[in-house]
Amino acid sequence: MTDKKQFIFGTRAVMEAIRADKDIDRIYIQSGLSNDLIRELIHEARTREVSFSFAPAQKLSAFSSKNHQGVVAVLAAVHFESLENIIHQIFSEGLDPLILILDRITDVRNFGAIIRTAEAAGVHAVVIPDKGNAPVSADAVKTSAGALHHVSVCRSKNMRKTLRELRDSGIRSVGCTEKASESVFGAVLTGPMAIILGSEEDGISPEVLQECDLLAKIPMYGKIGSLNVSVAAGICLYELLRQRTAVSR
């Protein structure tokens, strides 16, 4: 169970946390609740772009035996940063940005393992969707071996828009998918680059695939048709680093 200190209970307490710009991973609102205070909370969450969803009372009660009043906020274990600011900073330092985009990675162990590899590979920022991703929780920090404290994490409300903004900034995006015809070892991965990895269940979503500048796959020679996503992340990131190192020599 996640550390209880990561929760805020009660409508007014959660609303104040939003107004205080606390890093909230998600707000759960009890299904069927509708009153002026709940409507004010939803308006505040939408205005501040804080993720929320509706859930049955049993789920909220599972977080704690405290009186949650139908509202529970799960605090993020890290501070979410602005992707635009990070990219500006990296370019100003004369470096080629290396961005890792995770499209709906839901298993916290995979998420943590990917973050650990990303930190080791020198990834400048990891982008996750504001919904449908593993929680950025104490469990995620633990499975990343603490790497989450050393990697910038950014949230995107619209992945397609984010990819378009990256393209406008001169950053190419490569989707790592078995649907590609080109091998990741034959693709050109130098220069400003964003690597995209998809869900454990169905890979990169079609709408995100459409925005990729390049698709590449990891060759498979055995009978198993796919790799664990955290293993795939390591292969793709270190192939990119290999190419960057070769160019810099």
| pLDDT for 233 beyond 80 | yes
Question: 238 and 205 share a domain?
Answer: yes
pLDDT of residue 249: 62
Question: 87 and 71 share a domain?
Answer: no
Nearest to 44 by CA among 68, 30, 24: 24
One-letter amino acid identity for 128? I
One-letter amino acid identity for 24? I
Asked which of 34, 57, 75 is the last residue of a domain, the reply is 75
Question: 60 and 89 share a domain?
Answer: no
At 68, which CATH number? Answer: 3.30.1330.30
Q: Please, which pLDDT band fits residue 248 given cuts at 50, 70 and 90?
A: low
pLDDT of residue 191: 93
Neighbouring C-beta atoms of residue 58, cutoff 10 Å? 8
Q: What average pLDDT does the segment 89-111 reach?
A: 94
Question: 132 and 67 share a domain?
Answer: no
CB-based contacts of 155: which residues, under 8 Å, 6+ apart? 51, 80, 127, 128, 129, 130
Neighbouring C-beta atoms of residue 207, cutoff 10 Å? 12
Question: 97 and 213 share a domain?
Answer: yes
Asked which of 36, 58, 75 is the last residue of a domain, the reply is 75
Give pLDDT tens digits for 28-55.
Answer: 999 988 889 999 999 998 888 888 889 8
Spatial distance between the Cα atoms of 51 and 131, rounded to a whole number of angstroms: 7
Question: 186 and 99 share a domain?
Answer: yes
CB-based contacts of 76: which residues, under 8 Å, 6+ apart? 23, 24, 25, 135, 136, 137
Nearest to 131 by CA among 157, 110, 109, 152: 157
In eight-state DSSP terms, residue 191 is S
Overall number of domains in the chain? 2
Spatial distance between the Cα atoms of 160 and 144, rounded to a whole number of angstroms: 27
Give pLDDT tens digits for 102-137.
Answer: 999 989 999 999 999 999 999 999 999 988 888 888
Spatial distance between the Cα atoms of 226 and 37, rounded to a whole number of angstroms: 48
Question: 57 and 92 share a domain?
Answer: no
pLDDT of residue 203: 87
Which residue do the tokens 């393992």 mark? 113
Q: What average pLDDT does the segment 87-95 reach?
A: 95
pLDDT of residue 51: 83
Q: Which residues pair with 27 in a beta bridge?
A: 52, 73
Spatial distance between the Cα atoms of 245 and 249, rounded to a whole number of angstroms: 6
Question: 12 and 44 share a domain?
Answer: yes
Asked which of 55, 75, 95 is the last residue of a domain, the reply is 75
Nearest to 99 by CA among 77, 121, 78: 121
Q: Which of 18-22, 66-70, 163-167 has the lowest mean pLDDT?
A: 66-70
Question: 165 and 113 share a domain?
Answer: yes
Question: 122 and 149 share a domain?
Answer: yes
Phi first, then psi: give them for residue 218, nearest 5 degrees.
-90, 120
At 244, which CATH number? Answer: 3.40.1280.10
Question: 38 and 120 share a domain?
Answer: no
Nearest to 136 by CA among 148, 127, 145, 125: 148
Question: 92 and 29 share a domain?
Answer: no
- Residue-number span of the structural domain to which 61 is assigned: 4-75
Spatial distance between the Cα atoms of 42 and 36, rounded to a whole number of angstroms: 10
Give pLDDT tens digits for 58-84.
Answer: 888 887 767 788 899 988 888 889 999
pLDDT of residue 78: 85
Spatial distance between the Cα atoms of 24 and 54, rounded to a whole number of angstroms: 16
pLDDT of residue 225: 74
Q: The whole model's pTM is what?
A: 0.83
pLDDT of residue 5: 53
